[in-house]
């Protein structure tokens, strides 16, 4: 430590210790009277802290100073006014899926920034104690002591860091940590938020339970491969808790809307039965859907049909063929668009995309043959 660094560090007056087991202090800068956090780390990665101090990343504490002194690293960083997720969970205020998913999406959005750095930064210690909820409700990620850069050619981690229960298998020497390591810990923490227990003790049920199970698989290749993929899954679940307030896709939390659950359910039930393209009430999607349906109808009624002898088809026979074509085209759109959850109701293979595609094609073929058969029988009856 140089004299200049020693002077700068001396400007931070220790007020109180923030952690019983670690050298973490609340300090006040005597020059500007602002509060900061001072850490003394014996096991650390100075490169990570230096990189974070240079990057403009959202929702992580700003790093103001890093100084090596003998065998420890002194870090001065932003003080966040709020509570850790661990403190909140102790108070039993995290009670429902909606809150838990919102917090998890906030964490994943922070990790997305870290994972897209060059080279990527892996946090490796995602747990409730390292998640802060600020007084204005913003999710923050703290404590990068276990973080490391991703070495593309490395086979396994050189040393173990993390927290038992949240650490992925590769952190115990079974491979190298990467983005999927943080995803594993996120799955564990989501289960803890919802049940108070680890997945191996009590796996949460329903759609979220399946997401947690995939996050926490032993093989990295079987988990979600990126934070973006996991965010998309959680947002799909989250959409069932949202009400579209106006044409600008303004989403209102059910808890804050003052609307009864019965009214909410009625609105969601009504939206479910709207044609594909109109269920979200997003204006540009509605316009595209109108154009698509107009094109289908125009195509159907402008198609020229001929009898076996080559003459133009007319009358009931023409109408039956046009109705068949219309049902088939609209049916394809409705199936692919999952109208009324039809694709969810039909059995699909778990995590096997190729087999799911084959199964979808088979369903469409069966649907096509069935509609054509019905219309041929109708022609025979009416004609």
The gap from C-alpha 174 to its chain's centroid, in whole angstroms, comes to 26
Helices (H), the chain: 3-10, 46-54, 85-90, 97-115, 179-195, 206-215, 227-238, 254-257, 261-272, 283-302, 315-336, 342-345, 353-382
Which pLDDT score is estimated for 158? 43
Residues 6+ apart with CB under 8 A from 237: 97, 101, 207, 208, 211
Q: Report the percent of the chain where pLDDT is more than 90.
A: 36
Domains of the chain: 3-78 (3.30.200.20), 82-240 (1.10.510.10), 273-382 (no CATH)
pLDDT tier at 36 (50, 70, 90 boundaries)? Answer: very high
Region for 281 from its dihedrals, namely left if φ exceeds 0, alpha if ψ lies in -120 to 50, beta otherwise: left
Would strands 251-253 and 72-78 be described as parallel, antiparallel, or unpaired?
A: unpaired
Which pLDDT score is estimated for 349? 59
Its pTM stands at 0.61
Which pLDDT score is estimated for 138? 92
3-state DSSP assignment of residue 78 = strand
* 92 has pLDDT over 70: no
Which pLDDT score is estimated for 380? 67
Q: Range with the lowest mean pLDDT among 48-52, 129-133, 261-265?
A: 261-265
Q: Range with the lowest mean pLDDT among 117-131, 193-207, 294-308, 344-358?
A: 344-358
DSSP secondary structure string for all residues of 269-306: HHHHTSPTTSSS--HHHHHHHHHHHHHHHHHHHH---B
3-state DSSP assignment of residue 115 = helix
* 251 has pLDDT over 50: no
Nearest CA to 10 among 28, 37, 34, 35?
Answer: 28
Q: Three-state SS string across 333-346, please?
A: HHHHCCHHHHHHHC
DSSP annotation of 1: -
* Unique residue bearing structure tokens 């039993």: 92
Which span out of 210-219, 238-247, 248-257, 365-374 was modeled with the highest average pLDDT?
210-219
Which pLDDT score is estimated for 253? 45
């Amino acid at each position: 430590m140089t004299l200049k660094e020693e002077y700068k560090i001396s400007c931070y007056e220790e007020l109180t210790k923030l952690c019983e087991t670690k050298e973490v202090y609340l300090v006040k800068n005597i020059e500007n009277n602002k509060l900061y956090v001072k850490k003394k780390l014996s096991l650390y990665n100075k490169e990570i802290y230096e990189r974070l101090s240079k990057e403009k990343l959202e929702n992580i504490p700003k790093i103001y100073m890093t100084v090596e002194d003998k065998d420890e690293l002194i870090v001065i960083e932003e003080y966040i006014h709020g509570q850790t997720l661990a403190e909140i969970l102790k108070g039993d205020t995290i009670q429902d899926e909606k809150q838990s998913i919102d917090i998890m999406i906030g964490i994943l959005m922070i990790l997305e920034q870290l994972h897209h750095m060059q080279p990527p930064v892996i946090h490796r210690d995602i747990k409730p104690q390292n998640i802060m909820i600020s007084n204005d409700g913003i999710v923050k990620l703290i404590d990068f002591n276990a973080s490391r850069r991703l070495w593309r050619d490395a086979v396994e981690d050189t040393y173990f860091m993390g927290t038992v229960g949240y650490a992925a298998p590769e952190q115990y020497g079974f491979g190298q940590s990467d983005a999927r390591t943080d995803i594993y810990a996120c799955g564990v923490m989501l289960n803890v938020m919802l049940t108070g227990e680890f997945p191996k003790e009590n796996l949460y049920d329903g759609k979220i339970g399946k997401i947690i199970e995939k996050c926490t698989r032993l093989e990295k290749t079987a988990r979600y491969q990126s934070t973006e993929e996991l965010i998309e899954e959680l947002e799909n679940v989250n959409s069932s808790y949202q009400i579209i307030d106006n044409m600008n896709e303004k989403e209102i939390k059910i808890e804050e809307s003052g609307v009864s659950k019965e009214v909410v359910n009625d609105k969601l039930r009504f939206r479910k039965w709207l044609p594909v393209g109109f269920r979200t009430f997003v204006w540009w999607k509605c316009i595209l859907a109108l154009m698509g349906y107009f094109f289908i109808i125009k195509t159907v009624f402008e198609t020229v049909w001929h009898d076996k002898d080559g003459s133009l088809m007319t009358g009931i026979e023409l109408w039956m063929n046009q109705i068949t074509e219309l049902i088939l085209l609209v049916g394809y759109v409705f199936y692919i668009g999952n109208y009324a959850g039809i694709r969810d109701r039909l059995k699909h293979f778990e995590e096997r995309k190729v087999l799911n595609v084959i199964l979808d094609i088979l369903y469409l073929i069966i649907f096509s043959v069935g509609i054509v058969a019905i219309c041929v029988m109708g022609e025979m009856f009416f004609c």
